[in-house]
Structure 1
Amino acid sequence: MSTETIEKAVAAYFSNIAAMNPEGWVNNFAEDAISHDPVGEPPAKVHEGFREFIGQLQAVFAKLEPTTEHIFIASNEAAVKWTMTGVSKSGKSVKFEGITIFEVNAEGKIQTTRAYWNPAQMIAQLRS
């Protein structure tokens, strides 16, 4: 698999989060894709209810800006160190970071994600 294919899938993942575009985000995934986001929570089937994930972002945030700081590609996977900054609809600023492991299938779709981050840090910033 080409590096460009993996980079394209990762870029689409983050750009659709920034745009809070549920259809574009979900369409970036294979039909049977699984997401561990965050790792430690029960895995979710992306095409079963993950449009609501973007809906939740839209309900809370006026703006989200992901930055991919490092992308390490090996075989058909990428490990991405990222930082997310945002502003809630109530004007609270947030900044949180993590690492997501992406597995991309032969069709260039995301098959699996494993996201390592702490949602409690983001929620604490929204409540402060």
Structure 2
Amino acid sequence: MISKEEIANLIANYFSNIAAMNAEGWIANFAEDAISYDPVGEPATKIHENFRAFINQLKTVFNTLEATTEHIFITGNEAAVKWTMQGISKTDKSVTFEGITVFEINNFGKIQTTRAYWNPALMLAQLRS
């Protein structure tokens, strides 16, 4: 079993790399066959096949992103994280969006599955306002 400290470090790395819009660093946190439901309700996405484009898309929309993890609850090899993201778009729009992501960590210390509960439409509405 992975220690709580290792899981906390992995999650910190996940959020710092997404805020830095560092695709390679972010993807390195995931198992080769990792799956993401982001947001929950959308079809599962294979991280290693589809998420470089996602991070690169962030770079085209945002000048800055900042992630705050408000609460992290770790039990066994799983964690639930309440987070807030704040960003400044290329058009100087300020956006704030929040959610909860549930992480499943494999025995090699890599993220196996994420389930993100948030509403992308609320973020997009802020970008368009």
What interval of TM-score do these two structures reach, taking the shorter chain for normalisation? over 0.9
- After TM superposition, list the pairs within 5 Å mapping 1:1-128 onto structure 2: 1-128=2-129
State the shift of 1:23 in Å.
Answer: 0.3
**Cα RMSD, aligned residues only:** 0.5
TM-superposed CA distance for 1:87, in Å, is: 0.2
Counterpart code for 1:98 = G
Measure the CA separation in 2 of the matches of 1:62 and 1:11. 21
In 2, the alpha carbon distance for the partners of 1:30 and 1:9 equals 12
Taking the aligned partners of 2:13 and 2:111, their CA distance within structure 1 comes to 10
Q: How far apart, in 1, do the equivalents of 2:34 and 2:9 lie?
A: 17
Q: Secondary structure at the match of 2:48?
A: coil
**Stretches (4+) displaced over 3 A:** none
Amino acid at match of 1:23: E
SS in structure 1 opposite 2:69?
strand
List alignment gaps of at least 5 residues for structure 1: none
Structure 2: gaps (5+ residues): none
1:8 positional shift: 1.2
Q: By how many angstroms is 1:91 displaced?
A: 0.2
Residue 107 of structure 1 deviates from its aligned partner by 1.0
Instruction: Check conservation: 1:9, 1:104, Cα contact below 8 A.
Output: no
The C-alpha deviation readout for 1:8-32, integer Å capped at 9, x for no partner, is 1101110001110000011110000
Which AA in structure 2 matches 1:55?
N
Tell me the secondary structure at the aligned position of residue 14 of structure 1: helix
Percent of residue pairs identical: 72
Total equivalences in the alignment: 128
Inter-partner Cα distance in structure 2 for 1:11 and 1:125? 26
2-structure distance, mates of 1:108, 1:9? 8
